C-alpha cells in the first residue's frame, strides 16, 4: 500500500487539494455506510424525503429508529482518517473538506473549513416555522414521551436511525414542533431532496480554489458527490480516489487506491507533510542565501 499512497502523494504534492469525503471515512468510528463492502451484505433502503413528509407512519418509523440509533452517533469519535485530514488542513496540504457525511466527525477532529453537503444530524428544524432544536434535547423529549423505547434495540443505519418494530409504531409519539405543532425534520438532506443552493455554491467555490480533488470513502453513487469529480475533470484538475470497493468515479481518476482510510490517510498525510516541510526548509535556505551579509 505504501507505494500506491506514495503515488497519490506525488500527484497531489504542491497542489491545493480539496477533500471530498463520504461515509467510508466514518465506518472505522462505528458508523455504518450504505454502499461499502459491509453494507452490500446487509442492504438498507433509505427513507426518502417524499415518504417522510407525506406519511405520519414514515415519520414514526424514522423518529422511533432515530431514538434508538442516536446514542451510537452521539458517542462516535473521530478516527485516524479524520485526524489525518485535520492535520493536513492545519499544515496547508488541504484547503478544506466537502463532506457527504452528517456526523460532524471532521469538525470534532479539528477540521476548520468544512462544507456539509447533506447537512448535520446535530439539530432538527420545523418544516413550517423554522424553529431549530438540538438533537440531544429532542432525544430527551422522545425518551420522556416514549419510555418503552428506552431499551429498544435495532440495527443502526448510516443516518443515525435504526430498524423499528412495525407492530409498535402506532404507539410511538412522534415529536412535533413546540412552537407551532409542525413537522420536525432532521437538518439533513434526505434521499430525493435537493442540496440547498447556498451549500452547493460554497462547495463549488472551494473546488474552484483547488488544483486537485481527493475523494475519500465515497462510492460516488449519489450525484451530489459525483458532480464534483465531473467538474474537476472538466477543469483539468486531477482526481485521486481512496476508498474500499468500486466507485462511480473510477474511470475519471488519475490515481485510485482500494484501502482502509484509517491506514491510507495517515500515511498520505505523513508523506505530504514531510515533503512540505522539506520544501519550506529549502525555500527558507534559498532566501537566507540571497540576504546580504552584514560587514563591519
Residues with a catalytic annotation lie at 118
Question: CB-based contacts of 198: which residues, under 8 Å, 6+ apart?
Answer: none
- Say if CB 24 and CB 261 are below 8 A apart: yes
- Dihedral over alpha carbons 213, 84, 273, 199 (to 10 degrees): 40
- At residue 295, φ and ψ (nearest 5 deg) are -120, 125
CA–CA dist 214, 281 (Å, integer): 26
Work out whether the CA dihedral 192, 198, 204, 206 comes out positive or negative: negative
Cβ within 8 Å of residue 4, ≥6 positions away? 255, 257, 259
Task: Give the span between the Cα atoms of 120 and 21, in whole angstroms.
Answer: 14
Burial of residue 73 (number of CB atoms within 10 Å: 0-12, 13-18, 19+): buried
CA–CA separation, 183 and 163 (whole Å) = 21
Amino acid at each position: 500500500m505504501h507505494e500506491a499512497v506514495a503515488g497519490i502523494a506525488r500527484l497531489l504534492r504542491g497542489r491545493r487539494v480539496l477533500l471530498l469525503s463520504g461515509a467510508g471515512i466514518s465506518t472505522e468510528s462505528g458508523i455504518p455506510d450504505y454502499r461499502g463492502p459491509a453494507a452490500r451484505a446487509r442492504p438498507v433502503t433509505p427513507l426518502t424525503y417524499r415518504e417522510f413528509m407525506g406519511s405520519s407512519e414514515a415519520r414514526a418509523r424514522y423518529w422511533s429508529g432515530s431514538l434508538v440509533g442516536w446514542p451510537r452517533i452521539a458517542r462516535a469519535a473521530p478516527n485516524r482518517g479524520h485526524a489525518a485530514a485535520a492535520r493536513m488542513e492545519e499544515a496547508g496540504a488541504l484547503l478544506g473538506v466537502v463532506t457527504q457525511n452528517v456526523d460532524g466527525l471532521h469538525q470534532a477532529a479539528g477540521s476548520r473549513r468544512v462544507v456539509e453537503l447533506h447537512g448535520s444530524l446535530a439539530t432538527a428544524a420545523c418544516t413550517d416555522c423554522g424553529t431549530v432544536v438540538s438533537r440531544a434535547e429532542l432525544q430527551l423529549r422522545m425518551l420522556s414521551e416514549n419510555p418503552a423505547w428506552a431499551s429498544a434495540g435495532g440495527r443502526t443505519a448510516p443516518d443515525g436511525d435504526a430498524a423499528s418494530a412495525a407492530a409498535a409504531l402506532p404507539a410511538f409519539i412522534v415529536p412535533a414542533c413546540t412552537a407551532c405543532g409542525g413537522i420536525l425534520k432532521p437538518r439533513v438532506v434526505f434521499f430525493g431532496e435537493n442540496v440547498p443552493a447556498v451549500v452547493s455554491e460554497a462547495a463549488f467555490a472551494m473546488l474552484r480554489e483547488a488544483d486537485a480533488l481527493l475523494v475519500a470513502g465515497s462510492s460516488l453513487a449519489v450525484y451530489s458527490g459525483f458532480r464534483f469529480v465531473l467538474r474537476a475533470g472538466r477543469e483539468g484538475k486531477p482526481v485521486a480516489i481512496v476508498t474500499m470497493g468500486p466507485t462511480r468515479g473510477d474511470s475519471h481518476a488519475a490515481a485510485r487506491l482500494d484501502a482502509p482510510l484509517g491506514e491510507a490517510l495517515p500515511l498520505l498525510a505523513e508523506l505530504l507533510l514531510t515533503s512540505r516541510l522539506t520544501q519550506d526548509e529549502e525555500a527558507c535556505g534559498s532566501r537566507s542565501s540571497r540576504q546580504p551579509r552584514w560587514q563591519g
